[in-house]
Amino acid sequence: MSASTSGVATPADEGAGPGLKKLKILMLHGYTQSGSLFHAKTRALEKILHKAFPPKFISPIFSSYPGGIQLFYPTAPLRLMPADIPGYTSTSDETENEETDAWGWWKRETGTGVYYGLEQGLSTIKQTIEDAGGIDGVIGFSQGGCAAAFVASLLEPGRASTFSALNSQNPSTLSYPEGWVELAERNGELKFGVSYSGFYAPGEEYRGFYEPKIKTTFLSVIGSLDSVVEEERSKGLVERTVGERVVFHAGGHFVPVNKEMAGILVGFVKECCVVKEDKEDRVEDMDVPF
């Protein structure tokens, strides 16, 4: 089953029952990846999340989401040419025009730093959210981590007015993207966001995403050996959110899926999504005689 015409959605748990509320998470891949590749690289994390949020027919503890959990992995709309991929070295005209399975939510223009194609990227994300019937949270890696912050910002109340005010003062700032007002009204603000090796978008054009600061509770996971995204760029995203949590892992530019880091993610998601009554064993679920 696909989340959209350009992505992958993990199937709902069998037996969960039709119409039962699921915890829906949007998964945004990094630059040069695709939805299917990001799914493959985070499959271990997916299994841990499914185990942590089982559907009601397996465990009645988490009544907030009796349908279990579902992850959506769209693929970005901009196909990258070999020359767009970091580290590319030209060998011939044939390789320069070779079709790749590498995609981006936008391309950063050399010199200006402008995010070319961002409108297309946000449009694909919007369509995925609509096809999913709304989402509760977003997890992104690298460029997807930056995009995750964009999504959280755009779904917060009052953000459209901020974009409009900034744009009236300076026409070079980005306008609030088309269709997101209606989406924000239907979906509401997110319960959480997670950024792995993410960063903020510098420049006057993108002030609307960060002013005022993003209120959605965010977890930023930063690799202490990351040589692709500088630590200061990741910290820049931290500084532009109100409810930010920061965790460092002893690795580079990747999503850590070891037991410790996965446990941090699960604990964070539960803290943001599970209501108090679900955090305690309810009397009717206790297997003890009275």
Give the residue with greater pLDDT, 228 vs 17: 228
CA distance 173 to 96: 33
How high does pLDDT run on average in the chain? 87
Residues 240/210, Cβ–Cβ less than 8 Å:
yes
CA distance 68 to 85: 37
- Measured in residues, the chain has a length of 290
First to last CA, the chain: 46
Question: Is the Cα dihedral 146, 147, 148, 151 positive or negative?
Answer: positive
Q: pLDDT, tens digit, for every residue of 18-51? A: 678 999 999 999 999 999 999 999 999 999 999 9
Q: Which of 61, 55, 60 is nearest to 19 (CA)?
A: 55
Domain 7-285 bears CATH identifier 3.40.50.720: no
Is the per-residue pLDDT at 184 higher than 70?
Answer: yes
CA distance 120 to 115: 11
Res 277: pLDDT? 44
Report domain extents, the chain.
7-285
Helix axes 143-154, 180-187, angle to 10 degrees: 80
Res 2: pLDDT? 38
Q: Which of 204, 182, 254 is nearest to 225 (CA)?
A: 254
Percent of the chain predicted with pLDDT > 70: 84
DSSP code, position 13: P
Residues in contact with 83: Cβ distance below 8 Å, sequence separation at least 6, in sequence order: 90, 96
Q: Peptide bond preceding 54: is omega within 30 degrees of 0, i.e. cis?
A: no
Percent of the chain predicted with pLDDT > 90: 72
Using CA atoms, how far residue 202 sits from 41, 46, 89, 134, 232, in Å, is 28, 31, 28, 29, 12
The β-bridge relationship of strands 244-249 and 7-9 is unpaired
CA distance 17 to 15: 5
The structure's pTM equals 0.88
